[in-house]
Amino acid sequence: MLVLLCSGSSRPSHSLMLFLPCEEVEKMLEAAAILPVNFKSCALWGKLMDGMYWLRKALQILGPRNCGQFELTSAEEVLVLYQKICVPFPMIVDRLQNSIHKHNLWLEQVRLFFRLGPEDRSWIILLQLKDLGTAEAFSCVELEKVYSEVEKVQQWKRHCEDIIKPSTGNGNMLISTLLEIKKTLDRSFGMYKKSKNSKEGTLCLSCCSDINDQELWTCSICKDCFHLQCTKLLLEDANDMALFICSYCNFVKNAKLPLKGSGLLRIGRKHPELDRLTALLSDADVLCLWIEERRILHQIVEKALACNSCLTELVDFALAHLDKDLSAVTEKMRIAYKAIELAGIYDGQGYRKFELALARNTWKIRTQKLLESAEKPTIQQILRLLKEGLAISIPPEDYYRQQLTALRDIGLQWADTAKKVSMDGGALRLDKVFELITEGENLPVDCVKELKLLRDRSMLYCICRRPYDQRAVIACDKCNEWYHLDCMTISSTPKIYICPACILEPEEDMGGLAPIAQERFTGSKFEEPQTPLRRTELQKKSQKRKSVSKTMRLAVDQGPGDVVRNHSGCERLFWSNRKPFRRAARKRSEFQSLSPFLYVQNN
Ligand SMILES: [Zn+2]
Ligand SMILES: [Zn+2]
Ligand SMILES: [Zn+2]
Ligand SMILES: [Zn+2]
């Protein structure tokens, strides 16, 4: 073996050198160490060993993929050392020189690559340089740079995949997903820019295809086309193509209420956020080149920003709109809504502003419907709408807010007066009460509750001719008129009560009694008195039932002739004078169903 190594010029040694692994040299060196001492003293031995050591070093450098562990200078040093040894290794020297040459060639390529602008650098070439460098280049800053640039790109791509979440499959799914997003933004932008007369309306707006075997339905409002299965709405109502209304128009037209909490629409939430894409794009600034993904992402962000400025224009228009006519804003809201749904990204900031504009427009449409409805709005409806309007900051100068506020003021002012009058215990003259009722009926606001209070207030009872108040009352068993216990100076409720006015009419004596009273007079069996009472009175009465029935029992025992008649002669005269009132009161049960104005006529 040693002989073979030394005879460097002969052919076999050449071929041996090519395949001699470094480990073999190590073994030979180990074997040489245990040779007898006299062997080592000869001069040839010394030269041989120098050669072996040199060879070991050279082979270490030349070992497969070992270049990267050594610097170029190590190879050059080994070549310099070769001048000092006496054993020839021409093949090894060739290979060393070749390695240095290849390294320099690679270095030249790398320098050429980085001399190009970032736009012109190719990702494929960078990857090739990395592979070539791993195989052939010595350790150097350029190799480090190539490694780090490749790593940066790969890291960015992984980050990109985290955000874009490409569907799994064969091929480069990240690029195809990005291209898909870009396509949706092109369509979204087209929606913003679509002119009324464009002929794009021959594609399904939802899926953007015109598959021939499926019929396209045209929305009767916006004239856009849809496949029935693409528009999830109105399938059951879609029997008549002429009446078909797409989900967008349906949403805007019906002024659907905003969802509480997380905004009005959930559209686009599943898509990547524009903010994150913008951040991702600026992250790519550290990359030394433009890979395809970065290029597409750049286009996506540019298109998304263009869409955003279109949306902002529509939204600003809508937010600044304060007039009565809502058609222009509604049309713009519809366009924006469609464009947003087409877009494959989520532009949080833009969409939140749009949601506000949409909520305001929805509020206005609902207010418009209420104001234009055949029925008058109630004060409660107005107050509720105003509260909702306040929550979405409808400006005070807005037409609909002003209308509602005016109605509210009119309604509340009248209702306030009505409430006061209804509790004035009869202070206001009856004709003034009727005037107030007429005013209330002619208001543009429906104040049902207050009108009822006033109508009740316009009914007068008793000799004091006062409206119903909370004082205890009793009904005359003959004429059914109500009387205050204190006005009639009755301390306890009698079983039968005949008012002084009825007692004054001789022809109507006992025979003219109301049927119930008559039965009570003549009947032997005692029954709980059936005096018609107001609801509040009924309650009061049932509580006092025991004591009252005791009083009544007394009245029965005394017989019909002892019916309570506690009035003086003076009162008699008074009652004669009050007769016309009593006549009116007598038919109260009929009047109640009629307008209180009849009262006035009778009086
Ligand atoms: Zn479709
Ligand atoms: Zn439509
Ligand atoms: Zn009274
Ligand atoms: Zn009476």
| 50-76 residue pLDDT tens | 898 999 899 888 877 667 788 999 999
CA–centroid distance, residue 503 to ligand 4 (Å):
7
What's the pLDDT at 516?
A: 43
What is the DSSP track for 242-288? GG---HHHHHHHTTPPPPSSS-S--TTTTSPBHHHHHHHHHHGGGSS
Separation in Å, CA 439 to CA 94, 421, 431, 460, 588: 116, 14, 12, 20, 25
Q: Considering every ligand atom shown, identify the ligand nearest to the alpha carbon of residue 211 and give its number.
A: 1
Co-location of 189 and 325 in the same domain: yes
- Residues 5-45 have pLDDT tens digits of 444 443 444 444 455 677 788 888 888 888 777 777 778 88
How many domains is the chain built from? Answer: 4
CA–centroid distance, residue 494 to ligand 4 (Å):
14
Average per-residue pLDDT in the chain? Answer: 77
CA–centroid distance, residue 603 to ligand 3 (Å):
18
- Decide which of 513 and 339 is more confident: 339
Rounded to two decimals, the ipTM of the complex is 0.73
What's the pLDDT at 461?
A: 86
> Token pair for residue 89?
């290794």
d(C-alpha 130, C-alpha 237), whole Å: 64
Residue 460 — pLDDT band, cuts 50, 70, 90? confident
Burial of 137 (C-beta count, 10 Å sphere; 0-12/13-18/19+): buried
CA–centroid distance, residue 513 to ligand 4 (Å):
9
Co-location of 247 and 396 in the same domain: no
d(C-alpha 444, C-alpha 422), whole Å: 21
Co-location of 210 and 336 in the same domain: yes
CA–centroid distance, residue 375 to ligand 2 (Å):
29
Please list all protein residues whose beta carbon sits less than 5 angstroms from ligand 4, which is an ion.
Answer: 476, 478-479, 499, 502
What is the DSSP track for 377-422? PBHHHHHHHHHHHHHTT--TT-HHHHHHHHHHHHHHHHHHHHHHHH
* Structural domain contains residue 162: no
What's the pLDDT at 567?
A: 41
d(C-alpha 2, C-alpha 87), whole Å: 11
* Structural domain contains residue 154: no
Report the pLDDT averaged over residues 194-220: 66
The structure tokens 């419907």 sit at: 369
579: closest CA among 517, 499, 477, 467? Answer: 499
CA–centroid distance, residue 384 to ligand 4 (Å):
48
CA–centroid distance, residue 429 to ligand 4 (Å):
25
Q: Considering every ligand atom shown, identify the ligand nearest to the alpha carbon of residue 243 and give its number.
A: 2
CA–centroid distance, residue 156 to ligand 1 (Å):
35
Co-location of 500 and 403 in the same domain: no
3-state secondary structure of 475: strand
Q: Look at 79-93, 174-188, 198-212 and tell me which has the smallest mean pLDDT.
A: 198-212
Report the pLDDT averaged over residues 514-519: 43
CA–centroid distance, residue 338 to ligand 1 (Å):
14
Select from 344, 365, 386 the last residue of a domain.
365
Co-location of 201 and 335 in the same domain: yes
CA–centroid distance, residue 304 to ligand 2 (Å):
24
Co-location of 454 and 489 in the same domain: no
249: closest CA among 226, 277, 280? Answer: 226
Q: Considering every ligand atom shown, identify the ligand nearest to the alpha carbon of residue 229 and give its number.
A: 1
CA–centroid distance, residue 277 to ligand 4 (Å):
89
Report the pLDDT averaged over residues 528-537: 40
Q: Considering every ligand atom shown, identify the ligand nearest to the alpha carbon of residue 586 and give its number.
A: 4
User: Residue 247, Cα to own-chain centre: how many angstroms?
Assistant: 17
Task: State yes or no: pLDDT of 384 exceeds 60.
Answer: yes
CA–centroid distance, residue 432 to ligand 4 (Å):
28
For residue 484, list its beta bridge partners.
473
Expressed as residue numbers, the domain containing 383 is 373-458
CA–centroid distance, residue 172 to ligand 1 (Å):
27
Contact 319, 356 (CB under 8 A): yes
Co-location of 519 and 556 in the same domain: yes
Select from 45, 77, 104 the last residue of a domain.
104
CA–centroid distance, residue 577 to ligand 4 (Å):
14
Co-location of 435 and 476 in the same domain: no
* Structural domain contains residue 126: no
What's the pLDDT at 457?
A: 85
Helix (H) or strand (E) holding 335: helix 327-342
CA–centroid distance, residue 468 to ligand 3 (Å):
9
- Residues 117-167 have pLDDT tens digits of 999 999 999 999 999 999 889 999 999 999 999 999 999 999 999 998 877
* Structural domain contains residue 92: yes
What's the pLDDT at 195?
A: 54
Select from 436, 458, 480 the last residue of a domain.
458
Q: Considering every ligand atom shown, identify the ligand nearest to the alpha carbon of residue 231 and give its number.
A: 1
- Residues 85-100 have pLDDT tens digits of 888 899 899 999 999 9
Residue-level length of the chain: 603
Co-location of 453 and 530 in the same domain: no
d(C-alpha 478, C-alpha 516), whole Å: 9
CA–centroid distance, residue 425 to ligand 2 (Å):
59
Task: State yes or no: pLDDT of 416 exceeds 70.
Answer: yes
> Token pair for residue 530?
């059936």
CA–centroid distance, residue 390 to ligand 2 (Å):
30
What is the DSSP track for 63-122? STT-GGGSBHHHHHHHHHHHTT-SS--HHHHHHHHHHHHHHHHHHHHHHHHHHS-TTT--
What's the pLDDT at 506?
A: 58
- Torsion angle (degrees, nearest 10) of CA 92, 96, 102, 103: 150
What's the pLDDT at 48?
A: 86
Contact 332, 361 (CB under 8 A): no
Co-location of 254 and 348 in the same domain: yes
CA–centroid distance, residue 424 to ligand 4 (Å):
26
d(C-alpha 67, C-alpha 75), whole Å: 9
* Encoded amino acid at 552, one letter: M
* Structural domain contains residue 172: no
Q: Look at 98-112, 206-220, 410-424 and tell me which has the smallest mean pLDDT.
A: 206-220
3-state secondary structure of 204: strand
* Structural domain contains residue 212: yes
* Structural domain contains residue 54: yes
For helices 379-391 and 399-422, what crossing angle results, to 10°? 140
Residues sharing a CB contact under 8 Å with residue 471, sequence separation 6 or more, in sequence order = 484, 485, 486
What is the dihedral sign for C-alpha 155, 156, 161, 162?
positive
What's the pLDDT at 555?
A: 34
Q: What percent of the chain has pLDDT over 90?
A: 37
CA–centroid distance, residue 330 to ligand 2 (Å):
12
Co-location of 223 and 325 in the same domain: yes
What's the pLDDT at 168?
A: 67
Co-location of 226 and 270 in the same domain: yes
The neighbour count for residue 171, using CB atoms within 10 Å, is: 7
What's the pLDDT at 19?
A: 55
Residue 46 — pLDDT band, cuts 50, 70, 90? confident
d(C-alpha 251, C-alpha 365), whole Å: 12
* Structural domain contains residue 159: no
